[in-house]
Structures are given as structure tokens and as C-alpha cells.
Amino acid sequence: MERTERIEEEIKKIAGRLIDQELKDPRLTGIISVTKVYVSRDLKYCKIFVSMLGTVDEKEAMDALKSSAGFVRREIGNNIRMHSTPEVKFEMDDSMAYGEKIQGIINSLDIKPIEDDESADESDF
């Protein structure tokens, strides 16, 4: 595993723990999960992607996370030995919402399932 990948995994653990246990902002409601972390090659920048379930207002929650970026950066610096701690930026991970949208489209299609027909031969395919 490459050094940046190890650092990304550590940051993911630290950020997840901080969001779950230490950030007390009332705008952070529902379940907020850290889905992935990207660190630049020079280790100066870090994007933390989050997913939200049951959050009343995603924009408010993102504002709360962005305002806590300095605290998260300090905690990362306290927990990982690095020459300099990367600047933290939070981003919304919309892959789950995108997946739900695609699933809804698939479900809305009127496609009948293929029946298991023993009389079908290879020429039917």
C-alpha cells in the first residue's frame, strides 16, 4: 500500500470518529459517514467526502463541517506524524443519491423478469 493510501485510510478513521463523537454542532443531525478521502501527492491538501442519511438540511450540515475543518485538521496533525498537516476540505459524496436515482429509473421500467423455462434452447438467446 502506498504512503498516501495509508494516510488517506488514517484520515478517514480520524475524521469519522470526530464527526461521530466530538463535533457537537446542532446542524449535524442524522447519520454522517466519511465515504472516502483523497490526499494530494504533496500531502498539502485533503478532501474528505461525506454521505448523509436522515439529515434535515444537507447545506447546513456541510456548512457545519466546513466550519469545523480547522479542528479536524488539528486533530489529524495530533494523530498522524507528518511534516505538515494537509488543509482539510469537506465535499458531499452524492454517489448514494445517484445510485438511488438509477435504481428508481430501473424500477420504473416495465420489464418483465425472464422466466426459468426449461424448454428454451440456445437459439432463443
17-64 pLDDT, tens digit per residue, is: 999 999 989 999 888 999 999 999 999 999 999 998 876 788 999 999
pLDDT tens by residue, 77-95 = 999 998 899 999 999 998 8
What's this model's pTM, rounded to 2 decimal places?
0.77
Q: How far apart, in whole angstroms, are the C-alpha atoms of residue 86 and residue 82?
A: 9
Domains for the chain: give ranges and CATH numbers.
3-108 (3.30.300.20)
